[in-house]
Amino acid sequence: MPILEGQGVTKYFGGLAAVFNVDFHVDEGEVLGLIGPNGAGKTTLFNLISAALTPKSGEIRFKGRNITGLAPYKICRMGVARTFQTVKVFADLPVISNVVLGSYFGKSRGRSSAEALGEAAEWLQFVGLSAAKATPAKDLTLAHQKRLEVARALATQPELLMLDEMMAGLTATEVAEAMELVAKIRKQGITVIMIEHVMKAIMQVCDRIMVLHHGAKLAEGTPKEIATSKEVIKVYLGEKADAGS
Amino acid sequence: MDIAALKTKKNITTGVIMLAILILLAFVPLYAPGYPVILLSSILMYVILTVGWVMFSGPTGYISLAPAAFFGFGIYTTAIIGEAIPFAVVVLIGGAASFCLAMLVGALTLRLRGIYFAVFTFGLLMLIANSVNYYEIHFTGTRGRFVMVKGYDLIYFYMLGIFVLLMIAATVIKHSRYGLALISIGLEEEAAEHCGINVVMVKVMVFAISAFFMGAAGSVMATKWTYIDSGIAFYMLYSFMPVLMALFGGMGQLFGPVIGSAIFTYLEEVLITRFPEVYMLIFGIILVIAILYLPDGLVGLIQKLWKRFSERKHANT
């Protein structure tokens, strides 16, 4: 059974269909890549799943339960965590406090402060930020802030983690490290959906890829299928020019 | 000695000092009856309003201009039911009334951010003041009400009690996970929500708890004025003063607003009696200087000086 399913999910911004009638599913334990040109509706779809936005129509089910229209904090407590395209760390708070908020209030809530702090420290180690524990989040590099967001999301004990452009703006080395991190997360048994523009990363890390274009689902398949799909190439590179005529 | 031990030692020292101050304050009516008690009561009034304001608005950055509404609710509670039941119960009801008002207002308006929230809360104050005025004139047939005097010592002890309870509540919340949640809401509300924080609930509850203390303070202070009407009870300065006093004292620490409002009130009192013609002018200048040159308030300045001093001490050894 898929851990997350959507049926006919639709969202308009004014007259523009940002996401239109999209069906999708994510299987337990897989890494699903979500790609598409700018403005294709990828982040909007994330916002719909995490309930930052409410769909106009359609239904989203998590582990068989309809979660459409629930409050974001409830969705988080059910086990769906996310990061943000433009990082939203708690800038003035120390790194460890950023993460411990996840342990305090996520699916993991109800633990003692000591337990929550211990867990937060473990997640910091997991993403490789142990050394920066006491640093205010705003003083981290962009790559580290993105890692911090991942740690904070993981601290809520998700079963499904949504990563929104974790690798955008990172150097080649940082991208490689981020890819390792995704692999490590999957090893923990956490299902991942990731939006990414870094094709190398998407092709290597994902089990399956879904392509959005103008708010609609254009293609879906294994990385190999997507890489060779004519439609996808057309969207990304444009139509072959008819030089002869 | 490790850091934890140092911290406990520091906490114990702070606790002992605070207890000593409290005992000292509790005996003020004995060794300095009369004017000092009255002055201290007004200082406590502003301290309660300011700490109550900082408790919510400090971490969240939601600038509330509703304190006067909560304070006035307490005042009217006493004016309406003050003589029928024991005073302690009246004060509790005054606080509870403000608590309920804050829950209602909070649930409706805390989705507004920044300037919109500030303007709305101020509009709410105007709405309540004018509604009460309208009701009094058209239904009870009077403009104002008389309030039974309870004596200055009693007012003082009640204010001291409310102050102590407020400080305990504010400290507990600040150091709890909800205090951290409030800060996260102030920094990145959307992210806070996606971390599993029931943002609306946390905001409304803390807003209402702070309103409880403002309302209780209003219930007590009502007995000092003997006559009240909607203009006195919902005087808009009770909304602005806490903001100014908090800025003056500094919001980083809880004792910032305490020190800020205490000095501010005392200063106002001195200026009003010594320089009645120019007091507002001097007051304004002090405030402008404070905002320009003390971005972290008085307490921020003290901490900065202390740091410099202790660094020099270390350098000498």
Answer whether A96's CB lies under 8 Å from A117's CB. Answer: yes
Measured between alpha carbons, how far is B51 from B22 in angstroms, rounded to an integer? 17
Q: Are A222 and A209 in contact (CB under 8 A)?
A: yes
- What is the pLDDT, as a whole number, of residue A12? 93
Closest C-alpha among A64, A58, A65 to residue A41: A58
Burial class of residue B61, CB neighbours in 10 A (0-12, 13-18, 19+) = middle
Q: Say if residue B6's pLDDT is above 80.
A: no
What mean pLDDT comes out for the span B240-245?
Answer: 91
- What per-residue confidence (pLDDT) applies to A242? 52
Buried b (16+ CB within 10 A) or exposed e, A92-122: ebbbbbbbbbbbbbbbbbeeeeeebbebbbe
- pLDDT value for B31: 82
Mean pLDDT of A144-148: 95
The answer on pLDDT for B58 being more than 80 is yes
- Tell whether B188 lies on the interface with A, counting CB pairs under 8 A: yes
Which of B 193-232 lie inside 8 A of A, CB atoms? 193-199
* In the predicted structure, residue B251 carries a pLDDT above the cut 50: yes
Contact criterion met (CB < 8 Å) for B195 and A77? no
Q: pLDDT tens across B102-129, in order?
A: 999 998 887 787 789 999 999 999 999 9
Report which residue type is found at B273.
Answer: T
Domain residue extents for chain A: 2-237
User: H or E segment at A164?
Assistant: strand A160-164
pLDDT single digits (tens) B196-213:
999 999 999 999 999 999
Q: What is the DSSP string of B111-125?
A: T--HHHHHHHHHHHH
Among A52, A73, A116, beta carbon nearest to B196: A73
CATH number of A2-237: 3.40.50.300
The dihedral through the CA atoms of A71, A76, A79, A84 has a sign that is: positive
Find the CB nearest B197 among A91, A105, A113: A105
Chains A, B: CB pairs < 8 Å: 73
**CA separation for the pair A44, A34 (Å, rounded):** 12
Q: Is residue B316 predicted with pLDDT exceeding 80?
A: no
The 10 Å Cβ neighbour count of residue B228 is: 23
First-last CA distance in chain B: 19
Which residue, chain included where needed, has tokens 């003997």? B226
**Residue A47 pLDDT greater than 90, yes or no:** yes
Question: Which tokens hold the place of A149?
Answer: 């967001």
The one-letter amino acid at A67: I
Grade residue B171 by pLDDT with cuts at 50, 70 and 90: very high
**How does residue A191 score in pLDDT terms, banded at 50, 70 and 90?**
very high
- pLDDT > 90: percent of chain A: 80
- For residue A50, list chain B residues with Cβ-Cβ distance below 8 A: 194
Per-residue confidence (pLDDT) for residue B4, from 0 to 100: 66
Rounded (10°) angle between helices B3-26 and B152-175: 170
Q: Examine the pLDDT at B139 and tell me if it is beyond 90.
A: no
pLDDT tier, B1 (very low <50, low <70, confident <90, very high otherwise): very low
Q: Do B181 and A100 touch (CB under 8 A)?
A: no
pLDDT-derived band at B82, boundaries 50, 70, 90: confident
Q: Kindly list the residues from chain A whose CB atom is less than 8 angstroms away from the CB atom of residue B196.
A: 73, 76-77, 102, 105-107, 109, 156
Residue B313: pLDDT band (50, 70, 90) is low
On average, the pLDDT of chain A sits at 91
pLDDT of residue A239: 64
pLDDT, residue B32, reads 79
Question: Is B181–A71 a contact, with Cβ atoms under 8 angstroms apart?
Answer: no
Q: Are strands A160-164 and A80-82 parallel, antiparallel or unpaired?
A: parallel
Which has the minimum average pLDDT: A40-49, B81-90, B109-118, B205-214? Answer: B109-118
How many Å apart are CA B1 and CA B16, to the nearest integer? 21
B192, pLDDT greater than 50: yes
pLDDT at A244: 46
Instruction: Locate the domains of chain B by residue range.
Output: 32-240
Predicted pLDDT of residue A245 = 43
Is the pLDDT score of B239 beyond 50?
Answer: yes
B195 pLDDT band (50/70/90 cuts)?
very high
Is-contact B165 B213, C-beta < 8 A?
yes
3-class secondary-structure state, position B26: helix
The nearest alpha carbon in chain B to A98 belongs to B184
Q: Which pLDDT tens digit goes with each residue over B14-52? A: 888 888 888 888 888 888 778 889 999 999 999 999 999
CB contact under 8 A, B194 and A90: no
* Contact of B37 with B234, CB cutoff 8 Å: no
| B107 min Cα distance to partner chain A (Å) | 15
Q: Which residue in B45, B49, B54 sits closest to B160, CA to CA?
A: B45
Return the higher-pLDDT residue of A109 and A59: A59
CB A215 within 8 A of CB A184: no
Q: A-chain residues within 8 Å CB-CB of B173?
A: none
Q: Is B195 in contact with A76 (Cβ distance < 8 A)?
A: yes
- pLDDT confidence band for B293 (50 / 70 / 90): confident
Cβ(B249)–Cβ(B298) under 8 Å? yes
Does residue B317 have a pLDDT over 70? Answer: no
Residue with the two structure tokens 């004017």 = B35
Instruction: Give contacts of A89 with chain B, Cβ < 8 Å.
Output: 188, 191
Closest Cβ–Cβ partner in B181, B190, B197 for A52: B190
Q: What is the DSSP letter of A130?
A: G
What's the pLDDT at A240? 59
Distance from CA of A5 to the nearest CA of B (A): 20
DSSP state for residue A69 in the 8-state scheme: T
Q: Which residues in B lie closer than 8 A to residue A156 (C-beta atoms)?
A: 195-196
Tell me the two tokens of residue B40. 């201290």
Which of A101, A148, A163 should we substitute to test contact with B (largest number of B Cβ atoms within 10 Å)? A101
pLDDT band at B278, cuts 50/70/90?
A: confident
**Confidence at residue A156, expressed as pLDDT on a 0 to 100 scale:** 95
